Chain A
Amino acid sequence: MNHNRQSNDGNHDDDSALSDFLASLMDYTPTIPDELVEHYLAKSGFQCPDVRLIRLVAVATQKFVAEVANDALQHCKARQAAVVKDKREKQQKDKRLILTMDDLSKSLREYGVNVKQQEYFADSPSTGIDPATRDE
């Protein structure tokens, strides 16, 4: 009985926490606009008249993108730190942090998204091979 009471109180707290959170969402405007989220939710077939749920999805997506970008930033900084060890000139030039496909694919891999690009494009299978071996 005690356990039940505690769980009931816990549930009540959780319920209130959730409802408070949803209420607070109305004050916080996420960066991703509501119309965009509504459009893609409608495309997927999800019907909901409640605006708070749309805000919830928007905030969740914002969190996801922020995490991915953060990881990519860490990769970018790590690469710059590795380069600095070799040449000091690059440190002054590459102060700008640029989101590249390379960093993005590394960070997305942890989230289960496989973004792979061709490393290079060649004219024929024998491009770049040592000419001695090519003749053979």
Chain B
Amino acid sequence: MNNGCLENRKKEHDNSQKRPKSYKFGSKSDDFALAIAKVAVAQLCESVGFQGFHLSALETLSDISVRYIYSIGKTANLSANLAGRVEGNVFDIIHGLEDLGSNLGFSGASDVDRCVVSSGVVKDITHFVGVSDFIPFAYDVPGFPVVKESTKTGSFWEKEEVPPGEHIPSWLPAFPDPETYETRLSVENETMGVSNGKKTESELERVERKMDRSLLNLQLRFAHNENKGGSSHGSGYVATESNPYLAAPLHVGEKEVSPVVLPTKLSNEVALRNPVHVDVGNHVSVLETFAPAIEAMKSGLCDSDNGKKKLLYDQRPTVRFKIGIGKKSLGTISDFGSQNEEDLLKIASWFGNDNEKDDKKRRVEKILKESVESSKE
């Protein structure tokens, strides 16, 4: 309980340090208005008879005068809303003044059937205006806050452009001109586009140039990907001239890939738990095991058939990964007696970092032991 209270006090203290003044009238956005209020209040005090101020007193009085204006506005707005109006009128303001002046009282406050028009507040103000001197404000005050003029980008309808796609309504702002994001290509297209008359070839070259300069324009790439996927889906692998990143995905068996060799222990475990799997030997091609998964991903881009999905569920083996034990078992290469040296090197290269780490750990332990022994001596 005590600790909770202390924490709350600390939090309040921190909060108070962060926000020393009231947020409404003390924030940075209000500094300009408060400064103007300070000048006006200082002028008024000078007219009353003061010759100097304490800064804290001046700030307090200006803050209070600003809150006075705010409270008049709030009360007037409230009475206007109660009367079902959005805009206030003179009667609302007089109501607000009466509310604020009810503390000290004004003439005629106790009258039951008084009219707002003949309110004592107005009479006091009229008297004040007649008595007080005319003191103009010292500075020229510009209208604030200044409203920034927003540069409105015209809508499709205004620009008389047809929105690309039926799903885009015409009242939305128009897309930027293609020139803004195709500046480099437009110059060379004119030179290269003349020789190639076909549209598809020019698109290919355009895409090649883009990728060469590593300009990532997602819109065109998707557009080109769609075009390419549709055209090359039946033919299969596209020639090497085209961009490899935008080529159609490969199916299983199209390209010869070096098989991935798993160590005997892991492969034996996989074989034991997956009687359906065909290859039980040491050489398990990872690509084949994960081919259905890869196909599933690629089928998402192209049109997916139901047959491919069936393949997924039939051929996927259950692979279980053991973390932690593998390091120790694979760190010692002597376990694999029947493996080729190349495969061993491959495996070693995968886990090379771990071997190094083990060596480093051994060295550290050795050094620690030596230091302990030396300290004992």
List A contacts of B37 (CB < 8 A).
32, 36
> 1/0 per position for B123-153, CB-CB distance to A under 8 A?
0111011001011110001111100000000
Cβ-based interface call for B66 (8 A) = yes
The residue among B72, B80, B126, B135 with the most chain A CB atoms within 10 A of its own CB is B72
Smallest CB-CB separation from B80: which chain A residue? A46
With known contacts A57-B93, A111-B104, A62–B69 Cβ distance under 8 A: no
Q: Mark A11-42, 1 if CB is under 8 A from B, else 0.
A: 10011011001101100110111111101110
B86 touches which of A32, A47, A60 (Cβ 8 Å): A47
B50 contacts the other chain (CB 8 A) = yes
Whole-angstrom distance between the Cβ of A72 and the nearest chain B Cβ: 8
Asked whether, in the complex, the Cβ of A66 is within 8 Å of the Cβ of B74, the reply is no
Interface of B is mostly: helix
Q: Which residues from chain A contact B331 at a C-beta distance below 8 Å?
A: none
Q: Does the CB pair B58–A63 fall under 8 Å?
A: no
Residues of chain A with a CB closer than 8 A to B68's CB: 61, 64-65
Interface string of A85-118 (1 = CB under 8 A from B): 0000000000011111101100010111101000
Given contacts A43-B73, A99-B52, A101-B54, contact A53 B61 (CB under 8 A): no
Contact of B70 among A43, A68, A115 (CB under 8 A): A43
* Residues from 60 to 84 in A contacting B, C-beta threshold 8 Å: 60-66, 68-70, 72-73, 76
The CA of A37 and the CA of B33, in the complex, are separated in Å by: 9
- Chain A nearest CB, measured from B75 CB (Å): 9
> CA A44 – CA B104 in complex, angstroms?
24
Verify if A125 is at the interface (C-beta below 8 Å from B): no
Cβ-neighbour of B51 out of A96, A103, A112 (below 8 A): A96
Q: Which residue of B lies closest to A107 (CB)?
A: B61
| Further 18 A-B residue pairs, CB within 8 A, beyond A15-B117, A40-B73 | A11-B115, A21-B122, A29-B137, A31-B136, A40-B33, A41-B70, A41-B72, A45-B74, A45-B77, A50-B90, A53-B89, A56-B90, A63-B124, A64-B65, A65-B61, A69-B45, A112-B103, A115-B60
Measured CB to CB, the residues of B under 8 A from A are: 24, 33, 36-37, 40-41, 43-45, 47-54, 56-58, 60-61, 64-66, 68-74, 76-77, 80, 86-90, 92-93, 97, 103-104, 115, 117-118, 121-122, 124-126, 128-129, 132, 134-137, 141-145
Closest 7 interchain pairs by CB? A44-B73, A46-B73, A41-B73, A14-B118, A98-B52, A69-B48, A14-B117
Q: What are 20 residue pairs bridging A and B, where the CB atoms are less than 8 Å apart in the complex? A: A21-B129, A25-B129, A31-B135, A33-B36, A33-B141, A40-B70, A44-B73, A45-B73, A46-B74, A46-B80, A59-B129, A62-B44, A65-B45, A65-B61, A99-B45, A99-B50, A99-B52, A99-B58, A100-B54, A112-B103
